[in-house]
Structure 1
Amino acid sequence: GDDLDAWLSDSSLYKRTFRNCAIISGLIERRLPRGGEKTGRQVTFSSDLIYDVLREHEPDHILLQATYEDAGTGLLDIARLADMLKRIRNRIVTRRLDRVSPLAVPALLEISKEMVAGEAHEDILHQAEAALIEEAMRVD
């Protein structure tokens, strides 16, 4: 539905997909003019800024269309997800679990793919990721 599209448009999933489309299209260069490499943070900042401007001023831009198509079919099957949400409307059962559901692991791992400042933060994320995987795979 529209709520799902609006939420996904603001998500890091779409921004990361846009970054890949922008690099492939040549809109964003990974290399600096004198042969150096841009940092991941520089590429992310550039692509996020362009993504936000295009969404606001040219929502039908071909790169945004490619991003939605790529994310909608490659990373998520948006049409199936939207259909499923329509079918189960008002019949969602929420349960508190003692541990992470194995079905949640891919979503949690997707979060850890975002850039984090400093190696200490990355180490913490890797430890948390390992703990989540271990917990999800545990058989009682």
Structure 2
Amino acid sequence: MASSTLDAILKKYTAAGDDTKDKVLGAAFTVVNQEGILYSGSAGRIDFADDARSWDADTFTYVASLTKLITSTAVMQLVERGLVGLDDDMRAVVPQLARMQILRGFDGDEQPILEDNTTPITLRYVERG
């Protein structure tokens, strides 16, 4: 896919001037392979104001729960490669999970009531959460 095509996609879906309907304010993305960066582009602006600064590759943005998407993608790549299974107990893979306790509530003195986790922690369970 040519850089001009990717630039056109960015411009089509990002805000420009008064044209903000069904568009994101700004976006940036980079395409890479084993050899390095194939494409890096950005479009749009950082604010609703028409004279707002342009969105660029260095624009800081709050990504909130986007880390879940990235983590899920990475985990599913491990599953796809056969390195872990959806029903494998992750306590064997990440030993710290085996030591974690479950908070069941608080006692009369407001002290935590903790118990050991005896149930397998699987990717299938975590992914649906």
Q: TM-score, normalised by structure 2?
A: 0.25
Scaled by the length of structure 1, the TM-score of the pair is 0.24
Specify which structure has the higher proportion of helix.
1
Name the structure where strand makes up a greater proportion of residues: 2
Larger radius of gyration between Structure 1 and Structure 2: 2
